[in-house]
Amino acid sequence: MSFTTTGEHEAIRKAVREFGEEELRPVAREHDEEKKYPEDLRRAAAELDFVAPHIPEEYGGAGGSAGFGSSMILKYGDEWMKEEWLPRIAGGESASCSCISEPAHGSNVAGMETTAEKDGDEWVIDGNKMWITNGTVADVAVVMAKTSPGEGHKGITAFLVSTDRDGWQPSRIDNKLGIRASDLAEVVIDDVRVSEDNVIGAVDQGFYQLMDFFASGRTGVAAQAVGAAQGAFDAALDYAGEREQFDQKIGEFQAIRHKLADMATDIEAARSLTYRAAANVEEGNPDQAARFAAMAKLFASEHAVEVADEALQVFGGSGYVTDYPAERYYRDARITKIYEGTSEIQKNVIADRLL
């Protein structure tokens, strides 16, 4: 089956690439080395509808088909939640986060220990969340908590929580291997109280609601992996055309040419599989979307690390230091094998749909 992009897709791709080359590339090393969250760049990207393009125009978004973080609010949130938060997120005024993983429970979502107990017309949330993207910069969070602790995945509820609540205690994690400019946090939730109106969707339906976004989230990480691989390849290709050894460009040596050929092939295969996953997500076919999203995430992430490793090899000793971007691409690619479900989890998902 063939998947092609439209003229609108290509226009968006061109605009995003221009933004990346003009605004992100010049400061990428600085933000990585200083572990600095790019607040100004997020706001600048929001002005171009790059931050939350899936948010409908009525809430200040672009009405596109891809999104992250606020999707739960958009699909299952009450109207007041959408009106209050979606315009702020789309406009870059506020960031959002999703609090799912815990110190002892990553892939095992059903094992989470964070609880929410009813107290009159309020819910009292207690627990500890880990590896939370945007954890210290978000103004609003979607928090998954057990409302029926003995029911496993059947007893989880999603809550909308403003992060200025008493008892909300985020701590930034800044000793990461890669994606150092991304905000990552541990969040201690200590007796945080929210109204019963802050339930997103329905009580005890949070896990099922969350399942709606596994495929899109994994496809997004696959796309991230393709981007990391492409960046590493482009840097290696340029370097191979500049660096000279034994009186010739290193790109003229067959060993290097074969590396570049393998890298380019892996990237195109990963990109095609990611497009197929994205098409199935957009078409709303749950089983096919889950299958191809897992395949795309697995293949793209595994090969992104391999491509980045080969790119670093092309640079030789220069690739091992921060003077060139090769080592950063390698570090940044590695996370794609872990979050939104590890490679091992993706293999389980794929196998479940084969047998």
DSSP state of 105: B
Provide the CA 112 distance to its chain's centre, in angstroms. Answer: 21
The pLDDT value recorded for residue 69 is 61
The pLDDT value recorded for residue 183 is 97
Do residues 348 and 223 both lie within one domain?
A: yes
Catalytic positions, please? 340
Do residues 130 and 33 both lie within one domain?
A: no
Token readout for 124 is 């009292």
Q: Is residue 318 part of a domain?
A: yes
Q: Is residue 1 part of a domain?
A: no
DSSP bridge partners of 132: 185
Alpha-carbon separation of residue 224 from 88, 163, 304, 319 (angstroms): 25, 27, 9, 21
Cβ atoms of residues 314 and 327 within 8 Å: no
Alpha-carbon separation of residue 232 from 36, 61, 145, 227, 321 (angstroms): 22, 32, 39, 9, 14
Q: Is residue 288 part of a domain?
A: yes
Q: Is residue 335 part of a domain?
A: yes
First to last CA, the chain: 23
| CA distance linking residue 152 with residue 110, whole number of Å | 5
Q: Is residue 220 part of a domain?
A: yes
Comparison of pLDDT for 204 and 68, the residue scoring more: 204
| CA distance linking residue 242 with residue 236, whole number of Å | 10
Do residues 309 and 335 both lie within one domain?
A: yes
pLDDT tens digits for range 158-189: 999 999 999 999 999 999 999 999 999 999 99
Do residues 22 and 152 both lie within one domain?
A: no
Q: Is residue 167 part of a domain?
A: yes
The domain boundary, picked from 48, 74, 90, lies at: 90
| CA distance linking residue 37 with residue 41, whole number of Å | 9
How many domains does the chain fold into? 3
Q: Is the pLDDT of residue 324 over 70?
A: yes
Do residues 253 and 128 both lie within one domain?
A: no
CATH of the domain at 72: 1.10.540.10
Q: What is the mean pLDDT of residues 329-336?
A: 98
Do residues 78 and 179 both lie within one domain?
A: no
Q: Is the pLDDT of residue 5 over 60?
A: yes
CATH of the domain at 258: 1.20.140.10
Q: What is the mean pLDDT of residues 288-306?
A: 97
- Tokens 């990428």 — which residue? 28
- pTM reported for the whole predicted model: 0.93
Q: Is residue 2 part of a domain?
A: no
Q: What is the mean pLDDT of residues 69-88?
A: 93
CB count within 10 Å of CB 241 equals 11
The pLDDT value recorded for residue 351 is 96
The pLDDT value recorded for residue 2 is 54
The pLDDT value recorded for residue 321 is 96
CATH of the domain at 115: 2.40.110.10
Task: Work out the mean pLDDT of the chain and round it to a whole number.
Answer: 94
Do residues 82 and 100 both lie within one domain?
A: no
Do residues 227 and 339 both lie within one domain?
A: yes
Do residues 318 and 223 both lie within one domain?
A: yes
Res. 68 pLDDT band, cuts 50 70 90 = low
- In which domain, by residue range, is 22 found? 7-90
The domain boundary, picked from 57, 90, 123, lies at: 90
Name every residue whose Cβ is closer than 8 Å to that of residue 78 and which is 6 or more positions away in sequence: 197, 200
Cβ atoms of residues 160 and 73 within 8 Å: yes
Do residues 225 and 142 both lie within one domain?
A: no
| CA distance linking residue 141 with residue 110, whole number of Å | 19
Do residues 144 and 240 both lie within one domain?
A: no
Q: What is the dihedral of CA 316, 322, 328, 334, to 10 degrees?
A: 70
Q: Is residue 195 part of a domain?
A: yes
Percent of the chain with pLDDT over 70: 98
Do residues 233 and 289 both lie within one domain?
A: yes
The domain boundary, picked from 187, 204, 221, lies at: 204
